[in-house]
Amino acid sequence: MERVKAQASKVGKLLFDPKTAETYQAVLALTWQIIKETGLLLWLLICSGFIVGAWIGDNALRGGRNLRTWLDSQGEQADVEPAEKMAATGKALLDASQNGANFLLNQAREQLGLEKTEMAKPATMPKATTANFKKAKAAVQTAVSEAKETAPEVKEKLTETTSKLD
């Protein structure tokens, strides 16, 4: 029983020692400060998330409006036929995907320490427009009328060819 009393006395002295109280007070104060600063950090991260979300939303809306304006302006061009629009759109998509693939390939090469390759420039083709088609058709019709005057035997074949252009 003496051992129990002696041990209880030691524990009582440790618990009620002024140094013990100071140590626990310092621990609790530090813990509260850590909790408070961590809460502030979380709040700032949440606010940053809202700001980034708003920025993405604004840019998405602006991009949608710009796309609608562009599409409306494309629809107003009466001299451009749908086939020409499709060809131009296909070429633009091909160029964009080719540029994107080249960029990704160069990034991968850079990560591996390899030399970058020069990006090939897309081939430029003359723009197919109704005006160009009309000029070509007029040139063919002029040639046909001249040929009709000079060579009556070719007249039938040229007339068939001209009718196919219409």
Region 151-161: mean pLDDT is 61
pLDDT, tens digit, 9 for 90 and up, residues 26-80: 999 999 999 999 998 998 888 888 888 888 888 898 888 888 888 877 766 655 5
Amino acid at 60: A
Helix ranges restricted to H, 112-154: 130-150
**Biggest CA pair distance of the chain:** 140
pLDDT over threshold 80, residue 116:
no
CA nearest to 119, candidates 109, 105, 140? 105
Find the mean pLDDT for residues 128-152. Answer: 65
Mean pLDDT of 144-154: 61
pLDDT for residue 6 is more than 60: yes
